[in-house]
Amino acid sequence: MGNRHVAKSALGWRGGPRLRSFAPRSPLLTSGTVLLGLIAVAVSVGSLVFSVDAFEFRTTTALAPPSAEHWFGTDRFGRDMFARVLEGGRVSIGTASAAMVAILVIGVTLGSIAGYAGRWVDGVIMRVVDVLIALPSFIVALVAAGLFGASLKVVLIAIIGLWWVSYARITRGVVLQAKEQLHVVAARAAGASPMTILVREVLPQVVGPVVVVATIDVGHVILAIAGLSFLGVGAQPPTPEWGTMLSEGREYFLSAPHLMIFPGLAIFLTVLATNLLGEGLQERLDPHSLAGRG
């Protein structure tokens, strides 16, 4: 802190943010981006390039170990595991991303309304948040599946319905802070309407912290969906979802471990990638972690 003061006054050096361009590239950010990029490319393009059908039964080669023909082996119906892992990635990552978008839309909207409007609106929204945050999402999802039938859709709705609250909180905090910032007051004094202020002055500040948390959380959503599918309440066979695949492979764990190793590895790598990326982003967007580096 003190050091910065000196630097500023002595050099007329007005930066801080400018330091960013000098900061060494974050290894977290780079590795996270590369890993997630590879996974995304493999999952989205892979099944087009790789022409083996993920649903084709080949009883002759059931439970075959990894080979040149079937890189990840085959499952009990002789379906190609590599194709299924790729296809499962589409389901896992796709649904998790869609869920995240829904979570963000609901969370940021309600959070900014609460923060900006204040008074009773804030009170009502935040009490709802308080209640929902106390509910364990995993169990609520199980209960919902019990009530409305086990399907990916039900599980997703349960997860979205509970997970938006933390984003509402983050957003509200940033908005409350931003409301007092002088350039926001200045915009108000200059005649900007509440909507303009929210969209142009306040929300851009929400983006940073929300993106960081959301990136890490996508991994958690993937895990949750996989976990629920593993328990049999999420994606239903024959849909190749990583959690479902783990569940299917469980019976053959000793005789054909590849059935669990490859989907498990896929989940692990994806979650790792989102975590790396999220923390890398945090390092990059949060000025405090930069100041620490000096």
Binding site for another protein (CB under 8 A): 1-3, 5-7, 9-18, 22, 181-183, 185-193, 196, 201, 204
CB of 173 to another protein, least distance (A): 19
Whole-number Å distance between alpha carbons of 61 and 151: 30
CB of 17 to another protein, least distance (A): 6
Within 13 Å, how many C-alpha atoms sit on residue 103's CB side? Answer: 29
CB of 194 to another protein, least distance (A): 8
Whole-number Å distance between alpha carbons of 63 and 69: 13
Phi, psi of 74 (to 5 degrees): -130, 165
Which is closer to another protein, CB of 48 or CB of 190? 190
Q: Cα angle at 90 between 86 and 96, to 5 degrees?
A: 135
Which is closer to another protein, CB of 132 or CB of 187? 187
Which is closer to another protein, CB of 14 or CB of 288? 14
CB of 141 to another protein, least distance (A): 38
Which is closer to another protein, CB of 6 or CB of 49? 6
CB of 15 to another protein, least distance (A): 7
Which is closer to another protein, CB of 3 or CB of 59? 3
- Provide the sign of the torsion angle of the four alpha carbons 143, 218, 79, 257, taken in this order: negative
CB of 212 to another protein, least distance (A): 17
Which of 36, 58, 56, 60 is CA-nearest to residue 47? 56
Which of 211, 205, 239 is CA-nearest to residue 225? 239
Which is closer to another protein, CB of 16 or CB of 65? 16
